[in-house]
Amino acid sequence: MRVTGADGTGCPGGPSPTFGPGRSSPYTGGMAMLRLFASVRVAAGTGRVEVPGSTVGDVVAAACERYGSAFAAQVATCHVWLNGDPAGDSDPVVDSDEVAILPPVSGG
């Protein structure tokens, strides 16, 4: 799944002014463990964090809001996985789930 939000970034649904440092999340549901790799890990400054959301799209959007536009730009080229399987924005997330954001890889 490649993530592209309505605003052209990698954030599904676009930015929300109600979420960020010191603000409460607009998302209800579980707290997924978000795993970040390579360039998205660098952009976020962490490789692993709990993020709220009831769907994969919610989790990715919450992370984009938390880590800003540089992170969202990286996410726009990434693939998202849920518990080791390719995921879509509408896939449901519960507390024990792991969402991974993986940038494209090349080599040989």
Write down all domains in the chain, each with its CATH number in brackets. 30-102 (3.10.20.30)
Please list the pLDDT of the chain residue by residue as tens digits (108 residues). Answer: 445 454 555 566 544 433 444 444 455 567 999 999 999 999 999 999 999 999 999 999 999 999 999 999 999 999 999 999 999 999 999 998 999 999 998 776
User: Which pTM was predicted?
Assistant: 0.75
pLDDT at position 36: 98
Gap between the Cα atoms of 100 and 15, Å rounded = 20
CA quadruple 81, 51, 4, 93: dihedral sign = positive
